[in-house]
Amino acid sequence: MFSAGRYPWYNTKGENLTPYLLGIAGGSASGKTSVAKKILRDLGIPWVILMSMDSFYKSLVPEQLERAARDEYNFDHPDAFDYDLLYETLLKLKQGVKVDVPIYDFVTHSRLPRTKTMYGGSVVIFEGILALYDPRVRALMDMTVFVDTDADIRLARRLKRDISERGRTPLSVLAQYQKFVKPAYDEHIHLTMRHADIIVPRGLANRQALDLIAKHVLRQLNQRGVHIRTQLAASALGTGGHVDDDVCDCTDPATTHPANVLLLRQTPQLRYIMTQLRRGATERDDFIFYAERVARLVVERGLEALRSTPKHVLTPTGAAVQGVARADPLCGVSVMRSGATMEEGLRKVVLDIPIGKLLIQTDTRTLEPQLHYCKLPPQIHHSVVLLTDAQVATGAAALMAIRVLLDHNVAEDRIVFLCMIAAPAGIHAVIRAYPKVRIVMAEIERGLNDDYQMVPGMGNFGDRYFGT
Ligand SMILES: Nc1ncnc2c1ncn2[C@@H]1O[C@H](COP(=O)(O)OP(=O)(O)O)[C@@H](O)[C@H]1O
Ligand SMILES: Nc1ccn([C@@H]2O[C@H](COP(=O)(O)O)[C@@H](O)[C@H]2O)c(=O)n1
The angle at the Cα of 142, spanning 141 to 145, to the nearest 5 degrees, equals 80
Q: 157 C-alpha vs ligand 1 centroid, how far in Å?
A: 7
Q: Which CATH number fits domain 228-466: 3.30.1360.120, 3.30.70.2740, 3.40.50.2020, 3.40.50.10190?
A: 3.40.50.2020
pLDDT in tens, 381-395: 999 999 999 999 999
Closest by Cα among 25, 50, 201 to 122: 50
| Proximal ligand: closest to the CA of 165 | 1
Q: Determine the pLDDT at residue 187.
A: 97
Q: What is the DSSP string of 292-309?
A: HHHHHHHHHHHHHTS-EE
| Proximal ligand: closest to the CA of 130 | 2
pLDDT in tens, 133-144: 999 999 999 999
In this structure, which residue's CA is closest to atom 4 in ligand 2? 75
Q: Is the peptide bond before 456 cis (omega within 30 degrees of 0)?
A: yes
Residue 445 makes CB contacts below 8 A (sequence gap 6+) with 393, 421, 422, 423, 424, 454, 455, 456, 457
Answer yes or no: is the C-beta of 389 below 6 A from any ligand 2 atom.
no
In this structure, which residue's CA is closest to atom 16 in ligand 2? 28
Q: 121 and 19 in contact (C-beta within 8 Å)? A: yes
Atom number of ligand 2 nearest to Cα 158: 13
Atom number of ligand 1 nearest to Cα 129: 22
Answer yes or no: is the C-beta of 29 below 6 A from any ligand 2 atom.
yes
Q: Please tell me the least confidently modeled range out of 24-28, 43-47, 415-419.
A: 43-47
Q: Is 374 left (phi over 0), alpha (psi -120 to 50) or beta?
A: beta
Domain ranges of the chain: 20-224, 228-466
pLDDT in tens, 149-188: 999 999 999 999 999 998 899 999 999 999 999 999 999 9
Q: Determine the pLDDT at residue 436.
A: 96
Does residue 244 surpass a pLDDT of 80?
no
Q: 34 and 84 in contact (C-beta within 8 Å)? A: no
pLDDT band at 237 (very low <50, low <70, confident <90, very high): low
Answer yes or no: is the C-beta of 341 below 6 A from any ligand 2 atom.
no
Dmax over CA atoms of the chain, in Å, equals 86
Residues with CB under 6 A from ligand 1: 26, 28-34, 157, 161, 203-205
- 384 burial class (0-12, 13-18, 19+ CB within 10 angstroms)? buried
CA 63 to chain CA mean position, Å: 40
Long-range pairs for 267-276 at CB < 8 Å and ≥24 separation? 270/294, 270/297, 270/442, 270/443, 274/442, 274/443
Q: Determine the pLDDT at residue 254.
A: 58
In this structure, which residue's CA is closest to atom 9 in ligand 2? 28
Q: Return the percentage of the chain with pLDDT > 70, whole number.
A: 95
* Mean local confidence (pLDDT), 303-328: 94
Atom number of ligand 1 nearest to Cα 26: 22
pLDDT in tens, 394-438: 999 999 999 999 999 999 999 999 999 999 999 999 999 999 999
Atom number of ligand 2 nearest to Cα 33: 12
The best mutation among 157, 166, 204, 206 to test binding of ligand 1, ranked by most ligand atoms within 8 Å of the C-beta, falls on 157
pLDDT band at 69 (very low <50, low <70, confident <90, very high): confident
Atom number of ligand 1 nearest to Cα 160: 25
Q: What is the DSSP string of 13-57?
A: T-PBPPPEEEEEEESTTSSHHHHHHHHHHHH--S-EEEEEGGGGB
Q: Determine the pLDDT at residue 372.
A: 92
CA 303 to chain CA mean position, Å: 26
Q: Determine the pLDDT at residue 2.
A: 36
Provide the CB-side half-sphere exposure for 167 (13 A, CA): 8
Does residue 366 surpass a pLDDT of 90?
no
Q: Is 354 left (phi over 0), alpha (psi -120 to 50) or beta?
A: beta
pLDDT in tens, 261-304: 999 999 999 999 999 999 999 999 999 999 999 999 999 999 99
Does residue 247 surpass a pLDDT of 50?
no
Does residue 365 surpass a pLDDT of 60?
yes
Q: Determine the pLDDT at residue 239.
A: 35
User: pLDDT: is 447 or 244 the higher one?
Assistant: 447
Q: Determine the pLDDT at residue 252.
A: 54
Mean pLDDT of the chain: 91
pLDDT band at 248 (very low <50, low <70, confident <90, very high): very low
- Kindly report whether the global pTM for this prediction surpasses the value 0.90: no
Does domain 20-224 match CATH 3.40.350.10?
no
pLDDT in tens, 6-16: 888 898 899 99
Number of Cβ atoms within 10 Å of the Cβ of 324:
10
The best mutation among 34, 40, 106 to test binding of ligand 1, ranked by most ligand atoms within 8 Å of the C-beta, falls on 34
Does residue 250 surpass a pLDDT of 50?
no
pLDDT band at 44 (very low <50, low <70, confident <90, very high): confident
Per-residue burial over 164-194, b if 16 or more Cβ lie within 10 Å, else e, is eeeebeeebbbbbbeebbbebbeeebbebee
* The total number of residues written for the chain in this structure: 468
Does the complex come out with an ipTM higher than 0.85? yes
Q: 47 and 1 in contact (C-beta within 8 Å)? A: yes
Q: 101 C-alpha vs ligand 2 centroid, how far in Å?
A: 18
Number of Cβ atoms within 10 Å of the Cβ of 301:
19
Does residue 246 surpass a pLDDT of 50?
no
Does residue 199 surpass a pLDDT of 50?
yes
Q: Determine the pLDDT at residue 243.
A: 40
Asked whether this chain's domains 20-224 and 228-466 adopt the same fold, the reply is yes
As a dihedral over the C-alpha atoms of residue 294, residue 300, residue 304, residue 305, rounded to 10 degrees, the angle is 70
pLDDT band at 230 (very low <50, low <70, confident <90, very high): confident
